[in-house]
Structure 1
Amino acid sequence: MFKLTGKKAIVTGGGSGIGKAIALVFARQGAEVHVVELHEAAAYETRAEIEAAGGLVFIHTCDVSRQDQVNKVFEAIGGVDILVNNAGIAHVGNLENTSEADLDRIYQVNVKGAYNCLQAAVSRMREQGGGTILNLASIVSHVGIPDRFAYSMSKGAIHAMTLSVAKDYLSDNIRCNSVSPARVHTPFVDGFIAKNYPGKEDEMFEKLSKTQPIGRMARPEEVAALALFLCSDEAAFITGCDYPIDGGFIKLNN
């Protein structure tokens, strides 16, 4: 089950964290994986791990906020069976301390970047008779989180775009879903804690872990497993859905 043999999969932001985990599991399940990543060194680390396990992977250095770069990459790749819109950046701040520059930066990567990849992928999927899209949303698409104004805006847009694309391309055999993780233990989390709470890293990690009712953060591999299911043929009857993977955060955090 959940084999991706013969599928060509594009994973944006596949150089680290959730994107890397998705690229690894897709390759393990037989996909030809194309990692689209701004940070070349990180992308090559992902490639090394995939190739060491016998998988097939290609690296494309790209800024997803630049439509010209995205179109060039998709032209080089050709057809695409699976698109995972994972690339994104974060921002901490409420409305008043989110500057126009902050908002624009988040929008350019998280919203416009996803749009650029969606537009490039959908036309190719239509031509080949179908495809599967998975967007990385967030629990902030569903509930209010303190000091995440710009980030919440961007992930709310991801959720809405998922529904719109799913509806518009039903007759083209294109499925589009999203997943909404809570806190996931990635290098970004470690870096955020080290920068903002020097000397209190262990204490803050424990505190952030316990904000999930289940008592810990998710592992990137757990999100990747859900992504694998939703992009596999076993999920052929699922479209226009968002799947929280949140340790109970949305429903049980009371």
Structure 2
Amino acid sequence: MSRSYVVTGGGRGIGRAVVERLLADDRGDAGSGGSGSVVVVVERDPAALAWLRDHPAAARLSGVAGDGADESVAERAADLAQAAGTLTGWVNNAAVFQDARLDRDPPRRVLELIGANLEGVVVGCAVAIRRFLARQEPGATAEATAEATVGAIVNVSSHQARRAVPGCLPYVTAKAAIEGMTRALAVEYGPHGIRVNAVAPGSVRTERYEDLLASQGPEAAARIERQMAQLHPLGRVARAEEVASAIVHLLGDDAAFITGATVPVDGGRSVLAHDPEA
């Protein structure tokens, strides 16, 4: 039977790159009689799901339009995944980029924006963990459970969880909470064969990044590109496919002994300390 996955925020950017990588990476189905991985894509914007219809692997794709923070949406995605295969992995990728300031905005607004980035991860983890636990063999010993991964979750964090950027208070706070939750869930559910990890990208060349550059004049866009190169020791921003590669690795059998980790996929941005005299 095929393995199935749920990817939230999977219509664009990193999420879509994860979907493409899962569709292309069928190593986990070898010898299982499956015909390739099945992916359920959750996306708030229905327009961002239009590409699913014409995709060469459309038969292995399903889309759910809605907010991943809505438990009924997440449950619908899990139902579709389980109807198509063995639910093996869940990626919480959806994010909201809106700022609020404590000196300008009511605390309630700040909390709402923190929740906008945190709630979907909490809901996604809850639904995935319940489905993974329900798959456990009745009467299985703790030793047997510990030897096999029942399911894997990857939460998408950010380098900002540890190195805050001015003007991003709700986002930074939510991402730090996501990393803490990742560690807590890994400890809580590791004995049940459930692995929970996070990846923390730096800047990524997504549609949002390209739109930012396009909104600037040529000189301003070039200046941004130079600044981004200086912030990343590897001299450039990431491609979405590079972040997706790390996520899919953490979902797979080759990462069977990795849990509770936050893996930076940031070209060294989080470890760079600029020399003030340079």
TM-score normalised to structure 2 length: 0.81
Q: Does 1:34 align with 2:40?
A: yes
Change over 3 Å in CA distance of 1:229–1:64 after alignment to 2: same
Distance 1:242 1:153 in 2: 16
Offset, 1:147: 1.8
2:255 maps to 235
Q: Does 1:166 align with 2:186?
A: yes
**Where do residues 199-210 of structure 1 align in structure 2 (5 Å cutoff)?**
200-210=220-230
TM-score normalised to structure 1 length: 0.88
**Where do residues 166-245 of structure 1 align in structure 2 (5 Å cutoff)?**
166-195=186-215, 197=216, 200-245=220-265
Identical positions, percent: 28
2:21 maps to 25
Runs of 4+ aligned structure 1 residues displaced above 6 Å come to none
Judge conservation of contact 1:180–1:243 (CA < 8 Å) in 2. Answer: yes
**Letter of the structure 1 residue corresponding to residue 158 of structure 2:** S
2:76 maps to 72
3-state DSSP of counterpart to 1:222: helix
Distance 2:76 2:40 in 1: 14
Return the index of the structure with the highest Cα Rg.
2
Change over 3 Å in CA distance of 1:76–1:11 after alignment to 2: same
**Letter of the structure 1 residue corresponding to residue 222 of structure 2:** D
**Where do residues 130-169 of structure 1 align in structure 2 (5 Å cutoff)?**
130-169=150-189
With 67-76 and 240-249 compared, the bigger mean Cα shift is at: 67-76
Judge conservation of contact 2:229–2:235 (CA < 8 Å) in 1. Answer: yes
Structure 2: runs of 5+ lacking an equivalent? 27-36, 137-149
3-state DSSP of counterpart to 1:215: coil
Structure 1: runs of 5+ lacking an equivalent? none
3-state DSSP of counterpart to 1:169: helix
Offset, 1:21: 0.2
**Where do residues 22-101 of structure 1 align in structure 2 (5 Å cutoff)?**
22-30=18-26, 31-45=37-51, 47-48=52-53, 51-52=55-56, 56-78=60-82, 80-92=87-99, 94-97=101-104, 99-100=106-107
Distance 1:193 1:103 in 2: 28
Offset, 1:95: 3.9
3-state DSSP of counterpart to 2:87: coil
